[in-house]
A and B are shown apart, each in its own frame.
Chain A
Amino acid sequence: MEGTKIPEVIERHQTALLDDWMKQQLAASTLRSDLLPSAELREQSREFLELLRQASRQAGSTDVAAPAWQPLRDMLTRVSRSRGEQGFSPSETATFVFSFKQPLFSRLAEAYGGDAKGLAWDTWLATAILDQLGLFTTEVHQKAREAVIMRQQQEMLELSTPVVKVWDGVLALPLIGTLDSARTQVVMESLLQRIVETGAEVAIIDITGVATVDTLVAQHLIKTITAARLMGADCIVSGIRPQIAATIVHLGVDLTGVVTKASLADALTHALQRVGVSVNGRPARA
């Protein structure tokens, strides 16, 4: 970065800057001494300052995505993650970075004296850098949260057994949502497993809740139906909506040989008759 005094100002006043910054952070209303002891906050601040000094000396520009900023980004990634786990909000973590502006600006003003243009330029550079770094901590926060949600979804997927035994010998599997291949696999396997466990004769696969049936989903369906048949159970596919039916036909997927019913209610009637239950009227639609 050309014409900047940022690295030398940090170098010359490193200890004073740290003291100023700490004083400010400890006095701020956003301080979370309940979550982070001040000794740890001081250590994080010290490390940030040191890495900022190194990066601003080496960096060719204020683009904090550049390699020169890597150690500082790594440090902020660690801090954001651990703060996220400690219960800090994303804006509280970003404030850690933003709050360094004031102490830095004061020292820059001192260094430039009457040179207004020089000061304006460096203030602009410092703002650009600290803003990007603050936003970066927010991104890390978000990613960490997404990872947690993904993990929870995965766990729920494994925990949930969506196969319902609706009658002796009759199983139903309501498929809901996006059938990406991982989920389809898990769900279909759990159906086959339940067929073995219960000795079911009929299994209803209801796809009312499925938005898209592409060739991969169709293939999973066909494979499951074939495997079920080998285990002595017949499958009925219900809930194929008109737009899905039209699409399947255009794709060229062959569903002849697959028993289909418009609604889950129709499929149930059919299934119960199959296992010898006399059905009075049609079951109420949900």
Chain B
Amino acid sequence: MPALKDEMLPIRADSDIVLVRQAARSWSIDAGFSLVEQTKMVTAASELARNTLVYGGGGTVRLEALEENGRRGLRLTFEDRGPGIPDLELALRDGFSTGTGLGLGLSGSRRLVNEFSIESQRGEGTRVVIARWR
């Protein structure tokens, strides 16, 4: 299904995370999301953007405005060429962190969206795709 609109943003610094949140907010509003839906999408974007920066060593996010059977949605694809995640099941467990975080970024953002998929190759990088529908 082709996207109505798409855009790619870099994630290289802390300040880029702020920009990703702002973009996720305005695209959520454009998709007609309620305040709760916007907040969930923005928060998930914030988590994944920070992982991309902190663990992936930086990367990109692609925003896509979607429409399917009259329903509008928003898809975000986070990509990096970092070290990858050796054990996805473990990484998705509540409270698991190899850093100093709460370990709720991946598992939590999965609960905040309708669609969540993650692919990771050791030494090649990580790609996380999330989507929310109205």
Contacts and interface: CB of A to CB of B under 8 A. Distances in A.
Interface of A: 178, 180-182, 211-216, 218-219, 242-244, 246-247, 250-253
The 4 tightest CB contacts between A and B, nearest first, are A251-B108, A243-B39, A214-B46, A250-B111
Interface residues of B, number: 26
Contact of B39 (A216, A247, A253): A247
29 contacts: A178-B21, A180-B15, A180-B17, A211-B25, A212-B39, A213-B43, A214-B43, A214-B47, A214-B50, A215-B101, A215-B102, A215-B104, A215-B105, A215-B108, A216-B101, A219-B101, A243-B36, A243-B39, A247-B36, A247-B39, A247-B43, A250-B40, A250-B112, A251-B43, A251-B109, A251-B111, A252-B104, A253-B102, A253-B104
B35 interface: yes
B124 to A, nearest CB: 26
Nearest to B14: A180
A186 B85 CA distance: 32
Given A178-B18, A250-B112, A251-B111, A219 B36 contact: no
Contacts of A211: 21, 25, 42
Interface of B: 14-15, 17-18, 21, 25, 35-36, 38-40, 42-43, 46-47, 50, 94, 101-102, 104-105, 107-109, 111-112
Given A181-B14, A252-B111, A246 B39 contact: yes
Nearest to A150: B15
Contacts of B17: 180
A252 B43 contact: no
A180 B16 CA distance: 10
A246 B40 contact: yes
A198 B18 CA distance: 34
Interface of B is mostly: helix
Contact of A219 (B35, B39, B102, B109): B102
B21 to A, nearest CB: 6
Nearest to A222: B102
Nearest to B49: A214
Contact of B18 (A180, A215, A244): A180
B99 to A, nearest CB: 11
B33 to A, nearest CB: 11
A242 B39 CA distance: 10
Nearest to A178: B18
A216 B18 CA distance: 13
A94 to B, nearest CB: 26
A249 to B, nearest CB: 9
Contacts of A216: 46, 50, 101
A214 B111 CA distance: 13
A239 to B, nearest CB: 14
Contacts of B102: 215, 218-219, 253
B46 A212 contact: yes
B134 to A, nearest CB: 16
Contacts of A213: 43
Contacts of A212: 21, 39, 42-43, 46
Contacts of B38: 243
Contacts of B112: 247, 250-251
A215 B44 CA distance: 10
Contacts of A243: 35-36, 38-39
Nearest to B94: A252
A202 B10 CA distance: 42
